[in-house]
Structure 1
């Protein structure tokens, strides 16, 4: 579960870093009772960014299908890739 911490807690950077790494969740920082920042570990950030990239590619593929782009035979595509890259 994500934690919500006041901005004054940023004075203890080691504690915030530990929370981010142990919980594997972002830490939400508030300022004057309102949301201000989100802090997360690099691991979680990279995972979230990779997931966003997957969603972006899926969205592009769905648009291509909706626009009438012809489908390719999966077996044929993988065979061509194996021949090209020797695996």
Structure 2
């Protein structure tokens, strides 16, 4: 499944062309690949390699996107600056 998740005007230009793999560790089928571009971000369900992988429980992932928990509360592999820019740009 592929969906639009964030309007293009909210994506910082430094995220264009970058990818983030989100992995919920507490449930099956909780993996997504986010692809950022000038037209917006798309989300594809499933396992895929990204510029950065962010792992944690579904609750921890959501709380981090809501800025209720720091990114440091999750496991982050790869380019941490990409993950931090996503958190900074996210508004849920």
TM-score under structure 1 length normalisation: 0.22
Q: Which structure's CA Rg is the greater one? A: 1
Q: Quick check: which one's strand share is greater?
A: 2
Taking CA–CA contacts closer than 8 Å with sequence separation of 6 or more, which of the two structures ends up with the larger relative contact order?
Answer: 2
Q: Quick check: which one's helix share is greater?
A: 1
TM-score under structure 2 length normalisation: 0.21
